[in-house]
Amino acid sequence: MAFLLYYPLVKPPTEVLHQALLYWDGIATVVPRAPSEYEVAVPEELKELRQRQLYVPLTFDEGSMDRLEEPYGPAAPYSSPASRALRNELRRMAARPDRLRLPSPPEAFLYHSKITYWLKDELLSLGLAEPQRHPFVLAVPEDVQRLVIGTLARELAAGSRDPYIPYTDRPQAHAYAVEGPAESLRPAWELEFSRLLPVPAPGTPTADVLAFRDRHADERQRLMRALHRLLGELRRDYEHPADVLSQLRREIDQSVEDYHAAARSTRVAWVTRSVTVTIALAAAAGTLVQPGLTWVLGAVGGYALNVGTREVRPLARARDEHDFSYLHRVGSTLT
């Protein structure tokens, strides 16, 4: 099990928060390092969940800045592939003919202490950020916010000793987190779990979600273990995905049936949403995996499992156990 690391905002949407509480150990977000900024940025609900050890505020602090910091001043080479890729992408954004403009009023912000010092200077010098009267924030275009925080989330997940799984409901932020320039690219599966992970309908109190989490801990843990086992096996045995699904189908079908039965036993109205998982493969797949290919691998729990392939940039530090990224799809069906 692990915590979902939601990005690009500090406060996740309610349905994402509820999904994290139901199917993972909890939720994490990237927050400002400065205590005064943290108090403003983090809502009370997340602070209460932190007291219950269900929320983790993550910061790109001094101990982790070396992966995105220029250690020897502006003339020095950037210290990591991630920082070089981020700098290059920002400069590409600033140089393109339809260059990003800062709208008025601003559409997105970055807290000063969420980012590194060189990055703040880079954004200002490229005209991709403007200081605000509010002393804590820079105004930026939404694309810049998604790129920067998507990169931070990816690096925090890769570099942490604890398992954090990047998760967003913004397709462009997801793309920035797993794509982008890099010295090399790796093939990846992209699986779409259709309606496998129901969440309570909008308006359901978080207290009810926590009560269900406690009451049906066994069912939800069995479901997530089965799905994570499937993802891990597909990552390693990418040459035989149908065989992997065949071996695990019974386990997954049973865990899905048990969990959905538990959900139906409540008075809560449930919403089903699609979730896409990007899995970097364990090794180069050669001609076996063709980027852009999309097909239906099979069905688990009575729902289709759609599989495509793409190329993604490698993590700064590989995580064998949780090299996944999730995209929360918009759209819902009441069950």
Q: For the residues 245-253, what does the mean pLDDT come to?
A: 88
Sheet hosting strand 199-200, strand order edge to edge: 199-200, 270-272, 333-334
Q: Report the percent of the chain where pLDDT is more than 70.
A: 79
Residue 227 pLDDT > 80, yes or no? yes
Q: How far is CA 129 from the centre of its chain?
A: 24
- Give the type of residue at 287: T
Question: For 233, phi and psi rounded to 5 degrees?
Answer: -70, -40
What does the pLDDT look like over 17-69, one tens digit per residue? 999 999 999 999 999 988 999 999 999 999 999 999 999 999 876 444 444 44
What does the pLDDT look like over 136-171, one tens digit per residue? 889 999 989 999 988 888 888 877 777 888 999 988
The pTM (predicted TM-score) of the whole model is 0.84
Please state, rounded to an integer, the average pLDDT across all residues of the chain.
80
| pLDDT on residue 11 | 95
Sheet hosting strand 137-140, strand order edge to edge: 108-111, 137-140, 130-131
What does the pLDDT look like over 284-299, one tens digit per residue? 555 555 555 555 666 7
Q: For the residues 215-235, what does the mean pLDDT come to?
A: 89
For residue 220 the two structure tokens come to: 């939800």
Residue with tokens 């205590």: 35
What does the pLDDT look like over 114-128, one tens digit per residue? 888 888 899 999 999
Domain ranges for the chain, please list them.
1-179, 185-312
